Structure 1
Amino acid sequence: MRIDPAVDQAIRRAVGHGLPVTEEERESVDSLNLRNAKEITDLGLFTSLQRLIITGSDPVSVGHFSMIEGLRTLTLEDSGFSDLSGIESLSLLSLAIPRNWVTDISPVLNMSTLLQIDVTGNPLSEHSWRHVIPAMRDSGCRVKASGELEWRLTVHLHSAGVRISCYKNSEDYRLCRPGLGLTDLPQYAHPIVSLEDVRELLAGDPSAAHRYFEGRPRLV
């Protein structure tokens, strides 16, 4: 059976060796950390998972983990994740999807168990940013989201087909390249940009965002 090396490494970290694994070994795994996978497979084998972290991977879909009924904490970051449809089938307590390609977060409105969510650095639709986020906060869910300026820039870039996002880390504005289309390690090398840079990019040519990554190797 062909398996992505990143998935194999995640399984090895969890049980001490790669596939195949016994049913007893699968049931003993309650946490899995997957990094830089190009083909996510076999997560459904780990039916006892309560915590799943997927970083810098592409493609990623809800179908890769929707069968894990006991999942309570899900983190998808710096990846090519774009569609939350079906996420409401999970009884998650925490959902973190920072720096992905998600535009519509309305499916989370049907997640009565959700206590906190992070949607920072996504090209959210006007409806999601202005209406769904406030509705989630009103329901008691703790929401972490981009400020209006970095959100608007992210939408501006993605709408033009430039898969670069803007987010704020502490006091710094940063750019990142979610997914594996532009870099092999999207969780690293997020250049700092000034407030003036952000405003210039928002008003100008979206492709100019690529220059902030010039001189940075594909593998970092």
Structure 2
Amino acid sequence: MTLTLYAHPFSSYCQKVLIALYENGTPFAYRVLGDEQSGAELEALWPIKRFPVLVDDGRTTMEATIIIEHLGLHHPGPVRLIPEDPREALDVRLMDRFFDNYVMTPMQKIVFDSIRPETDRDPYGVAEARTMLDRAYGWLDKTLAGREWAAGTTFSLADCAAAPSLFYADWAHPIAGVFARVRDYRRRLLARPSFAQAVDEARPYRQFFPLGAPDRD
């Protein structure tokens, strides 16, 4: 049975799934998006044309979090990304939603606004996004006290979400020095082999980051 992932290496949500796959050494076929053929295949599977998309034995699964949940159910490995204990799992899912909604989303607002025509830009919305990111950094800095990973001592789904969101958020709206725990946590994520692999695979595409990729990371 072969898993096929439709994804792009530079996409934050695709990196989220790639981290989960690399954590467990899960074999999969990688359909890198970017050409007409792979794009047509993606559209046939998911007309919304958002990615990543996973195909497993004829079953199509969309959305990064759901794909990771699917992998945990059908292709478990040595690293359990969602705890068996339902109360612990709830904490992990909360942090997953936090990173997607309050870090990834405002980061993307800033990035996408920068590629709009000048006359269509939304300075008020960008200012709101920056405010949200500062609030998110502040809350996360307090929450990380005494924690190695997002939800405690164990690497989880929450960290799969955190890694790309904080990686790109710091490019779009730098994490201030006052948020020392967040900065340290971001460094730990970059040192994790699964995320380091995803970052390295995306390096050839850095020229396409609209705000200009910094000479670091």
- TM-score, with length taken from structure 1: 0.26
- TM-score, with length taken from structure 2: 0.26
Q: Which has the higher contact order (CA 8 A, sep 6+)?
A: 2
**Which structure shows the higher strand fraction?**
1
**Which structure shows the higher helix fraction?**
2
